[in-house]
Amino acid sequence: MIDAASDPIFAIHVLQYRPSRNDTAGQAGREGDLPSQIAGFFQGTGMPDAAWWQALWPDPAGTVAAAGIGPGMDVVDLCCGDGWFTLPIARIARHVTAIDIDADLLQAASRRLDAQGALNYDAVLGDAYEVARLIPQPCDFVLMANAFHGVPDQQRLASAIRSALAPGGRLAIVNWHARKREDTVVLGQPRGPKTESRMSPQQTIDAVSGSGLSVVQVVELPPYHYAAVFARTAD
């Protein structure tokens, strides 16, 4: 775990958070099938090797723009991992809050943004189910990339995200298409979560249904992903 007091740059941005006794799950950075020892980590969503991750996502700015993130927005990058998408969000949005349960990944995200001079962000160590409690006010947009497939209670998380959104706010869930793992090759090797963990767009829509979020569109993110975009419905 990080001792923020010993890392002044990191301490500027990180808001330390300790899950309550009732918190029973958490989140992760990105893909990976190795189990994490962090309590509450969404299994099967660990951060992959940087080389193939960057080969798969060579244009993270284009990805976040395609998902619907734009100027003037307050955005949450939920399960942010090492900040590969957080940095381009910071370059577009008014403000971004990066949330992850893995302190080492959160530190990596913070250093990535600091290295590029980003000042419009906070990095928050905490549980994804507590997202509404981890931000000071409702946000305009939540991005959750490559982690939803590993969430044990997807309906609960969708409801929690809905509570974190301002009226008209949106959620984009970026998932691997439900293709066989051996067919999703990057740099000559099969990549991504186990075949049985993958979700089709309709499965993602069904998982979110009933949470107070309605699907707006499904955006293709070649070669292997899509973004299911939802809007907060009226109270």
E strands in the chain: 14-15, 74-78, 95-100, 121-125, 139-145, 165-176, 185-186, 189-190, 213-221, 225-232
Find out whether 126 and 96 touch, Cβ atoms under 8 Å.
Answer: no
Domain-embedded: residue 37: no
The reported pLDDT for the residue numbered 20 is 32
For the record, the structure tokens of 95 come out as 């403000």
The reported pLDDT for the residue numbered 48 is 61
Domain-embedded: residue 25: no
Q: Write the pLDDT tens digit of every residue in 35-51.
A: 444 445 454 445 567 88
Exposure class string for 137-155: b at 16+ Cβ within 10 A, else e: eebbbbbbbbbbbbbeebe
Question: What is the distance of C-alpha 198 from the center of its chain?
Answer: 16
Res. 7: pLDDT tops 50: no
Domain-embedded: residue 34: no
The reported pLDDT for the residue numbered 17 is 37
Res. 5: pLDDT tops 80: no
Domain-embedded: residue 30: no
Domain-embedded: residue 24: no
Domain-embedded: residue 26: no
What is the pLDDT averaged over residues 141-169?
A: 96
If pLDDT is split at 50, 70 and 90, which confidence band does 166 have?
Answer: very high
Separation CA 88–CA 63 (nearest Å): 9
The reported pLDDT for the residue numbered 49 is 75
For the chain, how many helices (H) and strands (E)? 8, 10
Domain-embedded: residue 38: no
Res. 1: pLDDT tops 80: no
The reported pLDDT for the residue numbered 235 is 76
CATH number of the domain within which 88 lies? 3.40.50.150
The reported pLDDT for the residue numbered 170 is 98
- Report which DSSP code applies to 4: G
Domain-embedded: residue 227: yes
Res. 27: pLDDT tops 60: no
Task: Specify the number of domains making up the chain.
Answer: 1
Q: Write the pLDDT tens digit of every residue in 120-150.
A: 999 999 999 999 999 999 999 999 999 999 9
Four-residue CA torsion sign, 13, 15, 16, 19: negative
- For residue 192, give its domain range: 4-17+44-232
The reported pLDDT for the residue numbered 50 is 80
